[in-house]
Chain A
C-alpha cells in the first residue's frame, strides 16, 4: 500500500508534467476552480447552476453553454499558438523545449478544430436554427443536451491531459505508427483518441438532430426554396457530419484497440498498415473542412443580405452550390496526401475534383459581392468581418488551387506554405464567419448588442494580425521550412519572416483580449434591446423578442416567401402586431433532465479509466453510461405543460399581445 502513492504520483504526474508551463497551468486551474467554487458557494448558486444550466434541454441555453466553452477553448488554443510562435520567433531559442512544443502544437490543432470551431458552430445552430425555421425546439431536445455534455466532457478529458499524465504529441491528425504504443508509450495519445471518440459521438448526434429538425419541423409554408441560406448550410453540414464522423470513429477506435488491446491495424509488425488510418482519417477530415466552413458561408449569406438591405443575390444558385459542395466534399480526401505514392491516375482524379470545388465556391463569392451591388452597406462589426472574409478567402482559395496542382503540391506539401493556406481558409473563412455570427446574433441570444466601437478594434486586430502572421508563412514555405519543427538552425534565412509572423500572432492575441473585454463591457453597460430586431433583420428569428422566451413562438408563423420577416414588415403584419389572446394555446415543452450530464460524466470517468488502463474505473464509468441509458428508457416523464395563461402574460409583458 505505501508504494501506491508514489505509483499514483508517477503515473498521473510524470516528470514531463512538472515543467514550469504545466505548473503554471496547474496553478491557474486551481485558482480559477477555487474561485468558481467559492462564488457558487457564497452566493448559494449550486441549485441555480443545476436547474438552470446543467440539466437544461432548451436549445437557447445549450447555445450559451456551447458558446462559453468555445470562447474558453479559443483562449486555450490561442495561448498554445502564442507559445508556438514565441518558440519559433528566433532560431535556437527555446522558451519551451521539443517535448512541450510537440504537445502544444498537437493540442493547438485538436482544440481549435474539434473543441473551438465545432462548438462555436453548434452554438450558432442552437441559437438560431429553430427560430429561423419557425419551430419551438429542435427535434430531440434531450439528445441535444446529451450532445453538449459529450462534447464538454470530451473537451475536459483532452484538456486535463496537459497537467495529468501528459498531452498527446503526434499532431492533430495522429498518424500511426507514431501514435502506436511502441513509439508513444505515455497516456497522451490515448487521451487524444478517447476524447475525440466521446466528443465525436456527441457531434454525430447533433448532426442527426439538426437534420431531422430542418427536414421535419419547418413552419407551414417554408418550402425548401424558402429556407434562409443559413438553414441550407446547416442542413448540408448536418448531412456531412452524419456521413463523415463514422469513419473518424472507426479510425480512432482502431487506433485505441491497437494501443490498449494489442490488435495489429496500424503497427509496423504483423501486417499492419498505417496508411489505412490516413485514408480513414481524411475520409472524415476533408468533409470536416466543409463542416466548419459551410456554416460560416451561411452566416455570411445572412449578414450580407441584412446589412446591404437586399435579398441574397442568386438564391437558387447559392442553395445548389451548397449542395454541390456537400457532395464534392467526399471526393477530394486524397489531396491531403498526394505524396503518398497513390500513382498519377488517382492523384490526377483527386486533383481535378479538388479544382472542381472552386466552381461552386466561386459562385458563392460572386453572389455575395452582387448582393452588396445596388444595396446600402452598413458597416457594422458583423459586416466588417464579412468584408474582410471575401478577399481573405479568395486568396486562401487561390492558394488552395495551387496546392491542387499536383506536381506543385510535391513542393508545398507539409511546408509552411500549406500551414499558411489552411490557416488562411480556417481563420479567414471559419473564424471570421463565427465572429460575424457572434456579433450578429448576440443581441438575439442575450438581449443587448455588443459594443460596436470595441468590436471594431478587435476586428482590426484580428484582420491585420492575421495577414501579418500568415503572409510570411507562405514565403517560409518557399524557403523550405517544414511544419512542426520546434526550432530551426541559423543560416537558412528563416528568422526574419518568423519574427514578423510572431508579431502578427501577438496582434491577434490582442484582438482576443479586446473581444473578451468587449463582452464584459457590453454585459455591464450596454442598453437592452427592446425591439428584438436591432439590425432591421430579414429572417424569422428577428420577429421574436430578445432574449427569446422559452417557448419561442406563441403562435407558429406562416411563411409565404424567402426573407419571411422582411415580407411581414413590408406588409405591416408582424407576429408582435397580430397576436391575439385566443391564438395562444397550452403548450407541451421538454422537461429538464439530469440524464445528459450524468451520461457525459459516465463517459468521462470511463474514458479516464481507459486512458490509464485502470479497469475498475473504466467499468464504473461504463456502468454509469448504461445506467443513464436504462433510466432514460423508463423515463416517460419528459414533458411539461405550459398553460396558455402563462404564455399570454409573458407576451403581454413584452407588449406583444393585442387586446
Chain B
C-alpha cells in the first residue's frame, strides 16, 4: 500500500516535472527552433531531450545539495562545531549507493534512447514517402526529385503530413543536412549516400543550414524547406517540370565548385548527377545498398 502510494506520488512528481519543462520549453521564444518541432521526428527527439534533461536535473540536484552542504558545514573557520573526522574515508554502503543510483538513472535513459534510435532509423510502415536526393556542393544545396524529375538549388518543396526520404550525398567536402524544426541532422559525404527521413505536419517555410564546416563559403550554406499541402506539392512539381528550364551537364559543372548562388529551379536534370560521378569514384556496397534497395524509388 505504502509502496503503491509512493510510486503514484513519484509518477505525479515526474508528470509535474515534465509539465514544468514543457512550460519552460513553450515559454522560450520561436527562435528556439529545436524546441518547436513541426513533425514527428523532431518531436520524438525533443521529448527524449526533455526526458534526459529531467533525469539529469535530478542528478544535478542531488550532487549540488551534497556538495553545498559539505562546503558550508566543513569550512575551516574558528568555532566550527561540526565534527572533524579525518578517519572517515571509507563507507561501503555509500559507495555502493553511488554506483547503483547513477546506473539506474542511466538505464532509465538508455531504454527509450535505444528504442527511439531504432524507431527513427526506418521509415514508418504503410506510408508512401516522397524521395528527394540531396547533394551538398561548394557552397550550395542541390535537391533532385527522382520521381517528379525536377531539381532545385538552395530550397526544397515538400508535402505536409507525409514522410520525406532525403538521400544525402556530397560532391564536395563533408557537410551536414539540418532543418532544426523538422528533426536532427545527418552528414553528406562524398562516395556515400545516407538516408534521413523527416516530416512536416504543418505548412510553412523552415530554414536549414549545414553543421559541418566546409570551407570559406560555409556560412552561406543556408537553405529553405517549404512545406505545402500534397496537392499544392503535386501542382508545384508538374508546373515546374512543364515551365522551368532543364539543367544541363554544363549547368551542373557550373554549380559544382567554389561559388555561392541564390535559389534556382530546374525542370529536369541530367543522369549521373546523383550520386555524382564527377570525381570518378565508384560506389559499392555498404550504406549505399540501404538506399538503393528502397522500393519507393522511381
Contacts and interface: CB of A to CB of B under 8 A. Distances in A.
B176 interface: yes
A355 B211 contact: no
Interface stretch (A48-56, A202-210, A371-379): A371-379
A244 to B, nearest CB: 23
Contacts of B110: 351-352, 355
Contacts of B216: 98-99, 102, 169
Q: For this complex, into which size category does the number of interface residues on chain B fall?
A: 35 or more
Contacts of B53: 402
Nearest to A310: B86
B84 interface: yes
B45 A411 contact: yes
A379 B64 CA distance: 18
A482 interface: yes
A477 B83 CA distance: 46
B45 A407 contact: yes
B121 A343 contact: yes
Interface string A326-343: 000000000001011101
Nearest to A418: B211
B187 A379 contact: no
Of A271, A312, A405, A478, most buried by chain B (CB within 10 Å of CB) is: A405
Contacts, number: 276
A377 B222 CA distance: 53
A512 interface: no
A370 interface: yes
Nearest to B90: A314
Interface in B15-38: 28-29, 31-35
A410 B186 contact: yes
B42 interface: yes
B35 A341 contact: no
A178 interface: yes
A274 B211 contact: no
B215 A178 contact: yes
Given A275-B192, A411-B42, A377 B75 contact: yes
Contact of A309 (B34, B82, B84): B84
A407 B191 contact: no
A390 interface: yes
A413 interface: yes
Given A341-B195, A479-B32, A309 B95 contact: no
Nearest to A394: B63
Nearest to B88: A374
Interface in B88-114: 88-91, 94-95, 98-99, 102-103, 106, 109-110, 113-114
Interface of B is mostly: mixed
B48 interface: yes
B67 A390 contact: yes
A344 interface: yes
A271 B281 contact: yes
B52 interface: yes
Contacts of A29: none
A401 B56 contact: yes
Contacts of A99: 216
B6 interface: no
Of A341, A369, A390, A489, most buried by chain B (CB within 10 Å of CB) is: A341
Given A341-B187, A414-B176, A391 B121 contact: no
B89 A311 contact: yes
A269 B191 CA distance: 9
A169 B218 CA distance: 12
Contacts of B34: 411, 415, 477-480
A514 B24 CA distance: 38
A369 B63 contact: yes
A478 B64 CA distance: 25
Given A398-B59, A494-B31, A375 B194 contact: no
A310 to B, nearest CB: 5
Interface string B190-216: 111011000000000001011111111
Interface of B: 28-29, 31-35, 42, 44-46, 48-49, 52-53, 56-57, 59-60, 63-64, 66-67, 70-71, 74-76, 80, 82-91, 94-95, 98-99, 102-103, 106, 109-110, 113-114, 116-118, 120-121, 138, 171-174, 176, 178, 180, 183-187, 189-192, 194-195, 207, 209-219, 222, 279-282, 287
24 contacts: A268-B191, A269-B280, A310-B86, A310-B89, A337-B187, A339-B185, A362-B99, A363-B95, A366-B98, A367-B95, A375-B85, A398-B60, A401-B56, A401-B106, A405-B49, A407-B44, A407-B45, A411-B46, A411-B180, A479-B34, A486-B218, A489-B222, A493-B31, A494-B31
Interface of A: 98-99, 102, 169-171, 175-178, 183, 267-275, 308-315, 317, 337, 339-341, 343-344, 347-348, 351-352, 355-356, 358-359, 362-363, 365-367, 369-379, 387, 390-391, 394-395, 398-399, 401-402, 404-411, 413-415, 475, 477-480, 482-489, 492-494
